[in-house]
């Protein structure tokens, strides 16, 4: 049974391989008791409920809690901070109800004196070993309640010596992994960009001793595309407390009488199989449970994007020539980036004016689209809905549609202003505008960009403490409306690179642009961080021009995800085009395994002179090796996830050989040659016979 309730005070959740336990102690505190490898006997946890505490000293900090709140002798970071109308600012509760509905457990905590209710939701996904958590607040009183903080989940890990993994980053160097030992005090990972931003990610992985391959890892991933906060705190009473949810910085939510609020979800997991185990769990869960169903099993086409070739000088005729060349080398989707609309000749003008520029496309955009389709390719277009240049018809018509502070000049980011998505009329206008654009042309794919962060967080209605949150909901309403009206279109989420990579966006989009940086060695590091939580299928990666690096090296780095080409095809020699054609053909042979297979990061570039990634799906295994310094000889690498007794043909042609899965996983194989900056793709196929 997935959910076990005992005596209305002990609650135990089981997935295939894990157990999560909590219970109410004699003081009425909902204690967190355990999360880890499976313990079948739920009754054992009754014992944990009796661990005594010393009430004279920070009583509430001494126990691991399921849902802590500001006040009540707590010094630690907590999940909830509220203020009632009479300025009472703590939440003292009784657990008044516990109910199950299918795979969901709902615990109701009711304030002892005030008509305010917190419901903790746990949905048990046994198959994926994931517990989905969220919190619901309800004001049953007759006066408003101000909510200053409400996180989605709190996770306590018993003992000390934990490290917490997250990423740091800036534009063009996103997703840089770092593990922080949380030995004392706390560490905060946060975004104040109005979206996920570059700095950190809305997830955590906590462990004492773990690497890619093995070790106990507890992790949580927040599905929220706005400002988030993750706090990892070493509480001096021998546990690590992690809280995560909507950032409470500049957050204040008035909850009216009778009103309720539901937080974003957190996906919580535990694995004994190290960081790779965590990633594989999340990748499978994201595929099966989060991705838009209609498109999740559709492989990503090989894409060509003309941004690096032409930048803002987008002209119909030249794009047609690029499309011809793209089709010749095997590209399946041709994409026009920024610069096709309004008076968009640079980043200084035109943003907001979503009509096709007639000088750039004298024969109309439809002509180019027909041409692309006649070449057997799909067609894609770039948009940036949430922004406006001051030099645009949209801004001239609606200067009040952007965020601004009184008399101050509006802050510019990339010469543009942010549209105020908290205004329903702005979102309605954007839905109508883009719905019309997407309906007027035979567009197959949209690259949705966002090139500046929010600054002036002001709500016209005076609800300033909700601006960041409401802005993110405006974005989601827009994205959901376009997705619903164009269910077969593919959407890519880009934000000046990877500032919108998160699990909530993943549920409406089909792929991410992880970074504007396409240098293979930098990309390897970015991709290592990216794949911790997000799948290879969603990781768009382009081959771009760099005469210092071979085509195959650049290509094989991009093959680690969904391959795209960003080169200026009009400038490439016949030889270079032929090389690209070969690489694309190779990618098509491994695409399904890369995009839908299980990923094993056998070696990380961060800690080695080479990155070696292995993907397994059915009888095919693909190993992609990217060597930085060949001088540091590569030892044989042991593969993972194969069938020990099965036979695999390694490589192809005369040099192919057949060995067992057990050999490959224990004795290993040399995956690469001995050249600096080289990339190899090794294909292994399961074969019959001895």
In the complex with ligand DGJ, the residue whose CB is nearer, 93 or 382, is: 382
Which residue, 495 or 637, is less far from ligand DGJ as judged by CB?
A: 495
The DSSP code for 159 is S
Q: How many beta carbons lie within 10 A of that of residue 169, not counting itself?
A: 21
Q: Which residues pair with 155 in a beta bridge?
A: 242
Q: Which stretch binds ligand DGJ (CB under 6 A): 146-154, 231-239, 492-500, 594-602?
A: 492-500
Residues 527-586 that bind ligand DGJ (CB under 6 A): none
By CB under 6 A, what part of segment 437-466 binds ligand DGJ? 449, 451
Q: How far is Cα 346 from Cα 173, in angstroms, rounded to an integer?
A: 24
Among 421, 454, 494, 590, binds ligand DGJ (CB under 6 A): 494
Residue 187 CB, nearest approach to ligand DGJ (Å): 29
Binding flag, residue 382, ligand DGJ (CB under 6 A): yes
Q: How far is CA 644 from CA 661, 665, 666, in A?
A: 4, 8, 9
Three-class SS of 597-650:
CEEEEEECCCCCCEEEEEEEECCEEEEEEEECCCCCCCCCECCCCCCCCCEEEE
C-beta of 497 vs 661, nearer to ligand DGJ: 497
Q: Based on the shown chain and the rule CB under 6 A, indicate whether residue 304 belongs to the binding site for ligand DGJ.
A: no
Between the alpha carbon of residue 207 and those of residues 13, 34, 142, 215, 219, the distances in Å are 21, 15, 45, 8, 9
497 binds ligand DGJ (CB under 6 A): yes
Is the CB of 30 or the CB of 494 nearer to ligand DGJ?
494
Instruction: Compute, in degrees rounded to 10, the torsion defined by CA atoms 39, 42, 47, 53.
Output: 90
Pairing of strands 260-262, 130-139: antiparallel
Residue 246 or 494: which CB sits closer to ligand DGJ?
494
Instruction: Establish if 386 lies at the interface with ligand DGJ (CB under 6 A).
Output: no
CB 348 within 8 A of CB 332: no
Tokens 């979800």 found at: 265
- Nearer to ligand DGJ among residue 273 and residue 492 (C-beta): 492
From 260-268, 493-501, 647-655, 667-675, span contacting ligand DGJ (CB under 6 A): 493-501
What the block records as the tokens of 508 is 């409406």
Q: Least separation, in Å, of the C-beta of 27 and ligand DGJ?
A: 53
Residue with nearest beta carbon to ligand DGJ: 338
516 binds ligand DGJ per the rule CB under 6 A: yes
- Tokens in use for 382? 């770039």
Nearest approach, Cβ of residue 129 and ligand DGJ (Å): 35
* Of positions 162, 203, 207, 307, contacts ligand DGJ by CB under 6 A: 307
Closest approach, Cβ 81 to ligand DGJ, in A, equals: 37
CB closer to ligand DGJ, 122 vs 513: 513
Give min distance, CB of 452 to ligand DGJ, in A. Answer: 10
628 lies in the binding site for ligand DGJ (CB under 6 A): no
Contact present, 383 and 435 (Cβ < 8 Å): no
Binding of residue 174 to ligand DGJ (CB under 6 A): no
User: What is the nearest approach in angstroms of ligand DGJ to the Cβ of residue 419?
Assistant: 16
353 part of the interface to ligand DGJ, by CB under 6 A: no
| Beta strands in 171-259, from DSSP E residues, in sequence order | 173-181, 185-190, 203-207, 217-222, 228-235, 239-246, 253-255
Choose between 91 and 198: whose C-beta lies nearer to ligand DGJ: 198
Q: How far is the CB of 355 from ligand DGJ (least distance, A)?
A: 18
Is residue 386 a contact partner of residue 352, using CB atoms and an 8 Å limit? no
Is the Cβ of residue 219 or residue 513 nearer to ligand DGJ in the bound state?
Answer: 513
- Residue with token string 């306590």: 156
Structural contact between residues 71 and 83, judged by C-beta atoms closer than 8 angstroms: no
Which of 173, 182, 262 lies closest to 218, judged by CA?
Answer: 182
From the list 1, 56, 46, 57, the residue with the least C-alpha distance to 21 is 46
Which neighbouring-strand residues pair with 239?
Answer: 158, 235
Q: Which residues lie closer than 8 Å to 438 by C-beta, 6 or more apart?
A: 446, 482, 485, 486, 489
SS3 398: coil
Tell whether residue 338 is a contact of ligand DGJ (CB under 6 A): yes
Q: How far is the CB of 630 from ligand DGJ (least distance, A)?
A: 32
Q: What is the helix (H) or strand (E) element at residue 493, kind and residue range?
A: strand 490-493
| Residues paired with residue 614 on neighbouring β-strands, in sequence order | 600, 623
In DSSP terms, 678 is beta-bridged to: 627
Place of tokens 């980011």: 413
Residue from the set 251, 403, 468, 513 that interacts with ligand DGJ by CB under 6 A: 513
Rg (CA), the chain: 27
The least distance separating ligand DGJ from the CB of residue 548, rounded to whole angstroms, comes to: 22
Distance between alpha carbon 88 and the CA centroid of its chain, in Å? 38
CB of 309 to ligand DGJ, least distance (A): 12
Q: Classify 147 as helix, strand or coil.
A: strand
Contact present, 530 and 514 (Cβ < 8 Å) = yes
Q: Contact region for ligand DGJ (CB under 6 A) — 57-65, 84-92, 494-502, 554-562?
A: 494-502
Our CB check for ligand DGJ shows the closer of 197 and 496 to be: 496
Residue 496 binding ligand DGJ, by CB under 6 A: yes
Question: In this complex, which beta carbon is closest to ligand DGJ, that of residue 382 or of residue 553?
Answer: 382
Does 337 bind ligand DGJ (CB under 6 A)? Our answer is yes
The CA distance from 508 to 189, in Å, is 24
CA-wise closest residue to 299 among 526, 583, 510: 510
Q: For the window 389-428, what string marks contact with ligand DGJ as x by the rule CB under 6 A?
A: ----------------------------------------
**How many residues make contact with ligand DGJ (CB under 6 A)?**
11
In whole angstroms, the minimum distance from the beta carbon of 92 to ligand DGJ comes to 49
**Minimal distance, residue 431 CB to ligand DGJ, in Å:** 22
**Positions in the binding site for ligand DGJ (CB under 6 A):** 307, 337-338, 382, 449, 451, 494, 496-497, 513, 516
């Amino acid at each position: 049974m997935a959910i076990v309730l005992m005596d209305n005070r002990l609650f135990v959740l089981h997935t295939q391989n894990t157990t999560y336990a909590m219970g109410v102690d004699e003081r009425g505190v909902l204690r967190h008791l355990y999360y880890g490898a499976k313990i079948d006997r739920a009754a054992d946890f009754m014992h944990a409920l009796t661990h005594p505490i010393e009430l004279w000293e920070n009583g509430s900090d001494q126990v691991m809690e399921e849902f802590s709140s500001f006040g009540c002798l707590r010094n630690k970071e907590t999940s909830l901070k509220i203020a009632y109308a009479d300025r009472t600012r703590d939440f003292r509760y009784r657990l008044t109800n516990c109910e199950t509905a299918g795979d969901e457990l709902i615990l109701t905590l009711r304030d002892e004196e005030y008509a305010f209710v917190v419901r903790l939701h746990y949905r048990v996904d046994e198959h994926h070993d994931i517990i989905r958590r969220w919190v619901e607040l309800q004001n049953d009183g007759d006066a408003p309640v101000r909510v200053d903080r409400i996180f989605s989940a709190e996770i306590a890990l018993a003992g000390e010596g934990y490290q917490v993994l997250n990423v740091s980053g800036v534009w063009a160097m996103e997703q840089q992994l770092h593990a922080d030992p949380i030995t004392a005090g706390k560490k905060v990972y946060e975004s104040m960009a109005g979206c996920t931003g570059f700095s950190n990610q809305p997830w955590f992985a906590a462990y004492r001793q773990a690497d890619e391959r093995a070790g106990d890892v507890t992790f949580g991933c927040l599905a929220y595309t706005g400002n988030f906060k993750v706090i990892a705190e070493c509480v001096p009473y021998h546990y690590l407390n992690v809280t995560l949810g909507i950032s409470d910085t500049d957050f204040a939510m008035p909850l009216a009488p009778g009103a309720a609020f539901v937080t974003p979800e957190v996906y919580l997991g535990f694995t004994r199989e190290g960081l790779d185990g965590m990633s594989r769990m999340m990748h499978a869960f994201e595929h099966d449970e989060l991705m838009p169903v209609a498109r999740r099993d559709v492989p990503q086409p090989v894409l060509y994007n003309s941004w690096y070739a032409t930048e803002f000088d987008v002209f119909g005729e030249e794009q047609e020539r690029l499309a011809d060349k793209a089709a010749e080398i095997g590209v399946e989707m041709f994409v026009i980036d920024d610069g096709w609309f309004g008076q968009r000749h640079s980043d200084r003008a035109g943003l907001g004016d979503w009509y096709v520029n007639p000088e750039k496309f004298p024969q109309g955009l439809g002509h180019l689209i027909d041409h692309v389709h006649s070449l057997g390719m799909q067609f894609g277009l770039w948009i940036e809905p949430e922004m406006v240049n001051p030099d645009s018809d949209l801004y001239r018509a609606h200067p009040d549609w952007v965020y601004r502070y009184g008399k101050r000049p509006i802050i510019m980011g990339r010469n543009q202003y942010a549209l105020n998505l908290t205004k329903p009329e702005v979102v309605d206008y954007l839905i109508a505008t883009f719905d019309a654009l997407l309906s007027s042309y035979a567009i197959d794919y949209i690259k949705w960009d966002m090139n500046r962060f929010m600054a002036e967080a002001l709500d016209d209605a005076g609800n300033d403490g909700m601006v960041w949150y409401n802005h993110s909901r405006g974005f989601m309403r827009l994205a959901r409306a376009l997705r619903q009206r164009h269910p077969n279109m593919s959407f890519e989420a880009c934000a000046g690179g990877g500032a919108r990579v998160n699990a909530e966006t993943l549920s409406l989009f089909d792929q991410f642009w992880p970074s504007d940086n396409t240098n293979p060695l930098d990309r390897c590091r970015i991709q290592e961080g990216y794949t911790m939580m997000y799948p290879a299928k969603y990781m768009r990666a382009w081959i771009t021009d760099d005469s210092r690096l071979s085509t195959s090296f650049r290509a094989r780095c991009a093959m680690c995800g969904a391959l795209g080409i960003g080169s200026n095809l009009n400038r490439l020699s016949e030889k270079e085009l032929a090389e690209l054609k070969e690489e694309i053909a190779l990618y098509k042979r491994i695409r399904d395994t890369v995009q839908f297979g299980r990923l094993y990061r056998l070696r990380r570039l961060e800690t080695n002179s080479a990155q070696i990634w292995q993907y397994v799906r059915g009888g095919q295994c693909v190993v992609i090796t990217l060597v930085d310094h060949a001088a540091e000889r590569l030892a044989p690498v042991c593969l993972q996830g194969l069938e020990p007794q099965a036979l695999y043909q390694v490589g192809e042609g005369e040099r192919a050989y057949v060995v067992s899965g057990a050999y490959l996983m224990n004795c290993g194989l040399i995956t690469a040659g001995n050249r600096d900056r080289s990339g190899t793709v090794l294909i292994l196929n399961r074969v019959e016979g001895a």
